[in-house]
Structure 1
Amino acid sequence: MGAPIVPIAPAVRTTCPYCGVGCGVKATPMADGALIEGDPEHMASRGRLCVKGSALGETLGLDGRLLAPAMREEGSLRTADWDEALDKVASTFASIIAEHGPDAVALYVSGQLLTEDYYVANKFMKGFVGSANIDTNSRLCMSSSVAGHKRAFGEDIVPGCYEDFELADLVVLVGSNTAWCHPTLFQRITKAREARPGLRIVAIDPRRTATCELADLHLPIKAGSDVWLFNGLLVYLAQTGAVDADFVATHTQGLDGALAAAAECVDIGFVARSCGIDARLVAEFYEAFAATAKVVTAYSQGVNQSSSGTDKVNAIINCHLLSGRVGKPGMGPFSLTGQPNAMGGREVGGLANMLASHLELDQPAHRELVRGFWDAPRMAANPGLKAVELFRAIEEGSVKAVWIMATNPVVSLPDADQVRRALARCELVVVSDMTAATDTAELADVLLPALGWGEKDGTVTNSERCISRQRAFLQAPGQARADWWAICEVARRMGYQGFDYMDAHAIFDEHARLSGWRNDAQGAPRAFRIDGLAGLDRAAYDALAPIQWPVPPGGEGTARLFADGGYAHADGKARFVATRPRLPANAAGGDYPLTLNTGRLRDQWHTMTRTGKSPRLAGHAPEPFVDMHPHDALLAGVREGELARVRSRWGSLVARVSHGGGIARGSAFVPIHWTGQNASDARVGAVVNPVVDPVSGEPEFKHTPVRVEPFALAWHGFILSRAPLDLSGVANWTRVCGSGFLRYELGGREAVSPEWARVLLGAGSDADWIEYEDRTEGMLRCALLAGGRLEACLFVSRRPELPARGWLGGLFALDELSSRDRATLLAGRAAVQGSDPGPTVCACFGVGRNTIRSAIVQQDLKDAGAVTACLRAGGNCGSCLPEIRQLLAEAR
């Protein structure tokens, strides 16, 4: 037996850095990283972690880290010290403000920041620079929810809590692939249904996703038609008497206007035609909603990321207001946030049209309240530029300096090539990041090394208003520092007072005090308040347990709001909002006949700067794809398994054609995660429609007109290599991380030869080199070894059908290849049948498709539970269960 694994420090309770569920993590520092476990004491997750959270320990290495400040001179980066870099930022900001005014500078920040970072950034810009030109990548995912909440409730508030999903009798999931994007919350729902089989799940989504596979009813409405569906539900509830008349009369106003706007949806047949689905599905959904008292309607990016996103949010809330299903156990509308601290950013005014502590930038009394608390010399008087318009202003030259923190807008924003042009023309681009090489960092004039998860200290707030601590359990690497510290240093250099914080605790205390400052002086008291946490000493802050706001003085956390009214509008009443259905701004047709939808994959996160380091997270979807209906592929002249170009009016990308089975005719889907660092041409942001919601400013990520066309290649291939390779001369390539190697998928148009392969793989004339070439079949197989150990292998063919990568990857674990290993490598197949596990299905336990298929057949497994008992697959986060059920169905 090997030596026991010994921790080097006690376990630290912290919070996962991925989605808005906000799962608790126990991280135990080890000599080579950290042991990651779910925290059973955390109220949000109760010990559960999804596969991304479980793999956090694999992402803590320093490869690719930005470890010192850097400055660009004559096109090249050079290492700098903090003083030089901060002096450059401060002096350039100051000179631009002096010459052009405060609106000539901007910050673009992120839901990856901690609340304390966010707070200081907003104080700096809105109270001292004097501009509201600070926006966040949460604009891209949650701003329609913010706007909808404020219109309905008077404040940006999610009324319910996660327990409501377990108490509900009907859970409606709208535009949310919860099984993949919020896996531990979906586990709670499915476990509740196992305990109470009467609990029903309805999924409303144009795609048939993993979530739909576990739903009792799926409504595959066409993209952008949600308002028709929920306006129809509003009318149906009114007609059938499923109305809480006392609640409506006492606690709401505006119903007549909302019903008038929805009047055309009185006929279920009309609604069904408008949504592109069978009328029986609409009727079944309406009847279930009307007949079930305890209903939670949860929605995510499929609702928010739309040019009518705010109206979609309010159409959903209208139905809950009419039936009085708000803020009570097991019922309510529920916004599922996408990022770990999207909610925390909203608390401190992270959006360009907000002030800290849920105060309103466009109200003079609110501005004065914050100005007085901060003792701010120059308070922003007008809303700033929202994300999309901010980068247009940068390109036009009216914004001359921008500081980007913890986000990668050259990949993530719509019309991303415009963002690249904008930054290339900007006088000063400052980027704070933990990663040295990103598409955005390539355009930076100043790079500042930031702390990453496990190194930084502060708080985040999840989708249910739960404030949790992110605690450091690793030493800060190199010269990396907290983002709040960098902002404070620049503020002091610009002569601003009030930025002398010693630690995150001091910032949190100020944030908590502001939340209670004259809270009831401006009409109705704000629901957001955490002044019950003000005055904590450092030890109490360090020990802070998860708690849901509001937290008033002397009080405890609050699970639910609005059960008895008390909304944040001046009269205390909620508002029905008239929502008139409208088609997306750019409809598919003509040269662009397909509607492109975008979104996350199960095992990846944003632009893969963290998840891309984990080999087991790469196995499920190792390259970008375009999922489309076989009929549309036939019309486009492309075939499954081959590469194709996806083109819109704004840009294009290359991806492999897939027929996943969940796409309706006329639609396509591409994941968001690939960047210029891990693919030659796969940034979906370059393709996405830049139209935004007129109220929220959130872009239309779910509805871009595109066409798909052949991407001709002379050959297809892949490389497994221990060392990174320069593939700039290859027509197309993508890269993911394997266990001990990098996996490249590639295709080319130029002729290949063993000599070309030698140069590509870096094999000298005396290298240990083996090869096989069949020019008639257009086949080339090569391998480079060093000391008998496999360093790299390349496989090329005229056809995309190539040897399995799984067993080949296993050869990299061997210290020396045997003669049989060398022979099987060139033969392109394993010597032992069954040694190839196939593409990953269960990433939690590393179980492949071939392994599961074999077990199902050989052991006559009948259901997913039997597969889990046999192989453990599906036994952790459960997000692979739909795929396991598909394999069972295929076997039957």
Structure 2
Amino acid sequence: MAEGVRTTCPYCGTGCGVVASRARDGWAVGGDPEHPANHGRLCSKGAALPDVLGTEGRLLRPTVDGETVGWPAAIAAVASRLRAVVEESGPDAVAFYVSGQLLTEDYYVANKLLKGFIGSPHIDTNSRLCMASTVAGHKRAFGADVVPGCYEDLDEAELIVLVGSNLAWCHPILHRRVRAARDRGARLVVIDPRRSATCDDADLHLALKPGSDVALFNGLLAELDRRGRLDRAWAAGFTRGLEATLEAARAEATDLAAVAAACDLPLDALEGFCELLAGTPRTVTLFSQGVNQSSSGSDKVNAILNLHLATGRIGRPGMGPFSVTGQPNAMGGREVGGLANQLAAHMDPDDPDDLDRLRRFWRAPNLRGGQGLKALELFEAVAARRIRALWIAGTNPAVSLPEAETVRAALAACPLVVVSDVTADSDTARFADILLPAAAWSEKDGTVTNSERRISRQRGFRAPPGEARPDWWIFAQVGRALGYGRAFAWRHPSEIFREHARLSAFENGGSRAFDIGGLADLSRAAYDALEPVQWPFAKGGAPTARLFATGGFFTPDGWARLVPLRRSEPKERPSFVFPLLANSGRYRDQWHSMTRTGLAARLAGHRPEPLVELHPRDAARLGLADGSLAHIESRHGAAVMRVAASEAQRPGEVFLPIHWTDAYASRAVVGRLVAGHRDPLSGQPESKHTPVRLRPFKACWSGLLLSRRAVSPAGIGYWCRSAGAGCQLVELAGEESAPPAWLVEQPLAGAGLERLDYRDSARGVRRLAWLDGDRLEAALFLAPDRPQVARAWLQGLFGRDALGAAERAGLLAGRTPEAAADRSRLVCACFAVGLAEISAALADGRATSAPEVGRLLSAGTGCGSCLPEIEALVRAGRERRGPEAA
């Protein structure tokens, strides 16, 4: 048994087990070797969890209208104001917007409170932004929102197809399983417009035209039929709609050449993939946000499901379609009805029988039929004043939603905005009338469900700071204050879980996929000791790893549905005014809007700034040098980011990272650029297809500020903040002729500091440092171009209590003393190994391969998400040394 507290990682939907144990200086976090999702491995973010356990930036006490109050007053304020809105405008005027960061128990209570007792159907979740199209596709095909396979299928597959997923960066632990499968002989195909780090491990990369996924999978389906490679016997026994689906596919795909043209793919590459697909029954298709985040995302999902259903590749070892979930509890939220078009326990708000069943179980006469407003509709209703009270929990829609300025205007105009969160000053919290301090990952107890339907315990191992409380407790207290005490009388999350489990089995009898009746009688001790378990797990039965190998779908007649599809064009296309197409996504070491990962210096080292990546030909045509700054504009908003010229992008396309907020950069919120187009079935926004234009940010000066204290660089054209070791780093640039006087004169609050000042007026260079005795407090470097200084070495000076003569001498030069080496950009966040260290080992022959780099420096031996970059450095080194080095 692993020592310490066994819990679950709070990042992606892989659902890795974590062990937290006491350390000399706080807490140590390692992978749980007994958890079946990760077998002890953690990615860079999971490994850095100890770095983000402090109280910096935490919301510690409730506030009402800007005044700090106690919990009784805060709960009373929420309840009385919600009651007033209901009395004046009806329950439809109240909405909740919640998050895949919540635990299942939190989600359950929020859903019960709003739908069951306040009587509004308008609860939706930020999972709408990442998984809603998969939910819609699953329900159309299978009759239920259920992933049919498990992670072990990756271990047994002979062909793994990744569609719209940079697995190496976004789900590194799953990618390790894919790499292991490839090492034993499985083939890997990546389908993605962008050449991501994942492609470095692929046997084949199909850089298809954005938005052409349906055309591709329709074409593959028609071609497999022409080759006689469908499993017609299986399809005839368990599915409906095959012939109509094939007819629709043939209408678009007369042959592979037509498919190649529609998808902008080389015909020989497409033929090779089709041959591989035709001859490999053990095929797993993993898909993620590149499929979901589209105005035709549901159709893209069903195009993948059609292919698996028509070939019978589902529910058996090593085969099946597999949706990779973005958030740690996106699936748990769907289990309890956290989406506006669901009821709890996979029941349907449009089904009178389900409605009656839930109303009786909850004893909730206010429960109404019909679907609520999906995320974008919900905020449009806020803007139109139809929603007059909005409770936001654990998410940051002012950053993450499309047309972010419109969302912010709606929040500003809403009569009542309640925000419960861990962060005191998020972009969304600034609009709150009432702020409620929520317990964070390390402080709360409950369950989460990962991408393979595996329920795991999340166990708190620290006391909440200040007056922070679990989300379920906050919702329950408001329910009691509204007069619904009996329905919200839980004392511990185990009681909520038992109710949730009982509901899943209530009048089920196999009619609903989600059934955890086998856990409905857990004692508190058994709940505390609960091992990871997959559903369905009916009472008297056993946990189920795979579904549908022999039918048993959850449609009314028990047969799966193939869906005839025709490709549809994205809602907006590039034009003369906005000629480039912007894709958006995640960076390897960051998470969502960085309220957690932004605190960890080692997670900032890989990508400390948001980069707009574009093809070198586009960069040259637009006059954008690599490393310069660019204005990015769409019809809806603007941003400024640093340029990275990269052949990983198709010409005419750019990539933008989603993580930066107004707390971390001057203008880098990607949501300001993205339009509110959405899938008509799922309501999921189109985040991967935004027409934009780029132009140079004509910097007249640039700077780098390192400071122990937080500095607000408001009023400067470009700034970007990142965490350093003992300091923060702020990159600066302005289009005006000189930096503002306040920056040079007093970047720090406080007086009595010694100031070192170096000027070279002829070159426009100025360097300053502020010291408290021999302790460095801040340093500022200004120049016409971006200062070329030893950033990592300078950060290290903030870890010293006193600077020696050599450090003082090097400080204003921005260079290391002669004997010291600057570690440069971080490559391996798990072991804090920089580019310079790896490059030096390769240059002097101490290492000649990625495994040797690992043995020498440990780089790449943790989560492995940096292995593609290390392998690229190895290849580049061999090319420089010539053929004899190969």
TM-score by length of 1: 0.97
Distance 1:764 1:360 in 2: 60
1:206 match: 193
1:220 match: 207
Q: Give the C-alpha shift of residue 82 in structure 1.
A: 1.1
Matches within 5 A, 1:140-289: 140-194=129-183, 196=184, 198-263=185-250, 264-289=252-277
Structure-2 change in CA distance of 1:190 and 1:582 (3 Å): same
Structure-2 change in CA distance of 1:752 and 1:43 (3 Å): same
2:760 match: 774
Q: Give the C-alpha shift of residue 726 in structure 1.
A: 2.2
2:638 match: 652
1:5 match: none
1:293 match: 281
Which amino acid is 2:502 matched to?
R
CA contact (8 A) 1:10 1:29 kept: no
1:712 match: 698
CA contact (8 A) 1:758 1:764 kept: no
DSSP 3-state at the match of 2:578: coil
CA contact (8 A) 2:157 2:181 kept: no
1:439 match: 427
Structure 1 residues 19-40: Cα deviation after superposition (integer angstroms, max 9, x where no partner): 0000000001346431101001
Residue 545, structure 1, aligned to residue 559, structure 2: no
Q: Give the C-alpha shift of residue 754 in structure 1.
A: 11
Distance 1:780 1:575 in 2: 68
Residue 307, structure 1, aligned to residue 304, structure 2: no
Which amino acid is 2:204 matched to?
L
2:20 match: 27
Of stretches 631-640 and 497-506 in structure 1, the one that deviates more from structure 2 is: 631-640
Distance 1:173 1:834 in 2: 43
Q: Give the C-alpha shift of residue 833 in structure 1.
A: 5.6
Which amino acid is 1:612 matched to?
G
2:882 match: none
Distance 1:133 1:763 in 2: 46
CA contact (8 A) 1:726 1:760 kept: no
CA contact (8 A) 1:220 1:277 kept: yes
Of stretches 168-177 and 253-262 in structure 1, the one that deviates more from structure 2 is: 253-262
Matches within 5 A, 1:492-531: 492-496=480-484, 497-520=486-509, 525-531=511-517
Residue 636, structure 1, aligned to residue 622, structure 2: yes
Residue 409, structure 1, aligned to residue 397, structure 2: yes
CA contact (8 A) 1:201 1:217 kept: yes
Structure 1 residues 101-148: Cα deviation after superposition (integer angstroms, max 9, x where no partner): 111010000000000011111111111111210000000000000000
Distance 2:23 2:749 in 1: 37
Matches within 5 A, 1:386-397: 386-397=374-385
CA contact (8 A) 2:616 2:646 kept: no
Which amino acid is 1:34 matched to?
W
Q: Give the C-alpha shift of residue 752 in structure 1.
A: 4.5
CA contact (8 A) 1:68 1:478 kept: yes
CA contact (8 A) 1:108 1:135 kept: yes
Residue 585, structure 1, aligned to residue 571, structure 2: yes
1:3 match: none
CA contact (8 A) 1:21 1:340 kept: yes
Structure 1 residues 649-695: Cα deviation after superposition (integer angstroms, max 9, x where no partner): 11111100002331010100110000011111111111112100000
* Alignment partner of 2:84 out of 69, 91, 95: 95
Structure 1 residues 513-561: Cα deviation after superposition (integer angstroms, max 9, x where no partner): 00010003xxx61121000000110000000000000011122211101
Q: Give the C-alpha shift of residue 764 in structure 1.
A: 7.0
CA contact (8 A) 1:179 1:186 kept: yes
Q: Give the C-alpha shift of residue 570 in structure 1.
A: 1.3
Which amino acid is 1:389 matched to?
E
Structure 1 residues 174-227: Cα deviation after superposition (integer angstroms, max 9, x where no partner): 000000000001101112322x1x200000001100100111100001111100
1:44 match: 37
Distance 1:258 1:387 in 2: 31
Which amino acid is 2:199 matched to?
C
Which amino acid is 2:523 matched to?
D
Distance 1:818 1:531 in 2: 67
Which amino acid is 1:448 matched to?
L
DSSP 3-state at the match of 2:253: helix
**RMSD across aligned positions (CA):** 1.4
Which amino acid is 1:157 matched to?
V
Structure-2 change in CA distance of 1:418 and 1:719 (3 Å): same
Of stretches 399-408 and 816-825 in structure 1, the one that deviates more from structure 2 is: 816-825
* Structure 2 unmatched runs, 5+: 879-886
DSSP 3-state at the match of 2:321: strand
Distance 2:736 2:264 in 1: 46
CA contact (8 A) 1:107 1:135 kept: yes
DSSP 3-state at the match of 1:696: coil
1:318 match: 306
* Structure 1 unmatched runs, 5+: 1-8
DSSP 3-state at the match of 2:169: helix
Q: Give the C-alpha shift of residue 88 in structure 1.
A: 1.4
2:548 match: 562
Residue 466, structure 1, aligned to residue 459, structure 2: no
Residue 828, structure 1, aligned to residue 817, structure 2: no
* Alignment partner of 1:453 out of 437, 441, 453: 441
1:841 match: 827
CA contact (8 A) 1:754 1:771 kept: no
Distance 1:31 1:84 in 2: 39
Residue 385, structure 1, aligned to residue 378, structure 2: no
Structure 1 residues 570-609: Cα deviation after superposition (integer angstroms, max 9, x where no partner): 1110000111101111011111001101111000000111
Of all paired residues, the percent bearing the same amino acid is 54
CA contact (8 A) 2:17 2:32 kept: yes
Which amino acid is 1:167 matched to?
E
1:16 match: 9
Structure 1 residues 681-736: Cα deviation after superposition (integer angstroms, max 9, x where no partner): 11111111210000000000100010111122210111110001121132211111
Q: Give the C-alpha shift of residue 311 in structure 1.
A: 0.2
Residue 690, structure 1, aligned to residue 683, structure 2: no
CA contact (8 A) 2:296 2:679 kept: yes
Which amino acid is 2:88 matched to?
E
Distance 1:49 1:765 in 2: 44
Which amino acid is 2:567 matched to?
P
CA contact (8 A) 1:22 1:461 kept: yes
Residue 886, structure 1, aligned to residue 872, structure 2: yes
Distance 2:491 2:753 in 1: 56
Residue 79, structure 1, aligned to residue 68, structure 2: yes
Q: Give the C-alpha shift of residue 402 in structure 1.
A: 0.2
Q: Give the C-alpha shift of residue 85 in structure 1.
A: 1.4
1:132 match: 121
DSSP 3-state at the match of 1:813: coil
1:799 match: 785
DSSP 3-state at the match of 1:870: helix
Structure-2 change in CA distance of 1:755 and 1:697 (3 Å): closer
DSSP 3-state at the match of 1:761: coil
Q: Give the C-alpha shift of residue 280 in structure 1.
A: 1.1
Residue 56, structure 1, aligned to residue 45, structure 2: no
Moved over 4 A (4+): 750-758, 763-766
CA contact (8 A) 1:132 1:383 kept: yes
Distance 1:115 1:344 in 2: 5
Distance 1:835 1:70 in 2: 48
DSSP 3-state at the match of 2:827: strand
Structure-2 change in CA distance of 1:757 and 1:525 (3 Å): closer
Distance 1:590 1:86 in 2: 53
CA contact (8 A) 2:419 2:432 kept: yes
Which amino acid is 1:741 matched to?
C
Distance 1:753 1:98 in 2: 54
Which amino acid is 1:218 matched to?
H
Q: Give the C-alpha shift of residue 751 in structure 1.
A: 5.0
Structure-2 change in CA distance of 1:756 and 1:426 (3 Å): closer
Of stretches 587-596 and 723-732 in structure 1, the one that deviates more from structure 2 is: 723-732
Distance 1:210 1:10 in 2: 35
